């Protein structure tokens, strides 16, 4: 066998092996797994009507006027930053874009209808298996957002969602 024939045979063998390991049950278009981790399309990464990259005016339109605002400077981006504080909700903006949102209020709901107080089973039924990190009092379940270095995070305590967080990992 010559080099070209060996290369073709190796390619066919690789293709056959990948076909054997492929799932025959199709996944929803907006939740796909890469290396065992479920990814969420960015349009689904929304909490309380706010998504990563939303502007301050978008946040105020969705959540109302904040109870307080704390201005700061974000060293990694060298841009002005602010924290908008609501009842059990905190939004961190860098420049004029949401980089982090954390919510412990029952009114915060994801694009797919998961909210504070829902069971871990509901989270799994909606988003599939996430990356699970047990902590002292809570279990943290992370779903990566496709095309972004970002995540949708659920904090679970006693089998219930106690906090939902969106964040960009930019540091």
What is the per-residue pLDDT across 110-164, written as a single tens digit (0 to 9) for each?
999 999 999 999 999 999 999 999 998 999 999 999 999 999 999 999 999 999 9
Backbone φ and ψ of 89, nearest 5°: -135, 135
SS3 assignment, position 126: helix
pTM for the model: 0.77
For 118, the 3-state DSSP assignment is: coil
pLDDT digits (tens, 9 = 90+) for 79-102: 999 999 999 999 999 999 999 999
Asked if pLDDT for residue 14 goes beyond 60, the answer is: no
Look at residue 68 and tell me whether its pLDDT is greater than 80.
Answer: yes
Cβ atoms 40, 31 nearer than 8 A: yes
| Strand, helix or coil for residue 38 | strand
Question: Rounded CA gap, 84 and 67, in Å?
Answer: 8
Q: Is the dihedral of CA 61, 160, 43, 37 positive or negative?
A: positive
For residue 27, pLDDT beyond 80: no
Architecture of domain 31-168: Sandwich (2.60)
- When pLDDT is averaged across residues 35-53 and rounded to a whole number, the result is 87
């Amino acid at each position: 066998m010559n080099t070209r024939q060996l290369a073709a045979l190796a390619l066919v063998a690789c293709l056959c092996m990948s076909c054997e390991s492929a799932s025959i049950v199709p996944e929803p278009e907006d939740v796909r797994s890469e290396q065992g981790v479920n990814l969420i399309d960015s349009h689904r990464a929304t909490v309380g009507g706010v998504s990563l990259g939303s502007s301050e005016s978008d946040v105020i339109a969705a959540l109302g006027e904040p109870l307080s605002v704390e201005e700061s400077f974000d060293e990694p981006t060298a841009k002005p930053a602010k924290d908008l504080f609501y009842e059990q909700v905190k939004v961190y903006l860098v420049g004029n874009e949401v980089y982090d949102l954390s919510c412990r209020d029952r009114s915060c709901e994801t694009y797919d209808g998961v909210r504070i107080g829902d069971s871990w089973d509901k989270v799994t039924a909606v988003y599939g298996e996430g990356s699970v990190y047990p902590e002292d009092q809570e279990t943290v379940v992370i779903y990566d957002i496709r095309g972004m270095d970002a995540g949708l995070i659920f904090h679970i305590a006693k089998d219930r969602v106690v906090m939902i967080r969106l964040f960009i990992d930019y540091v």
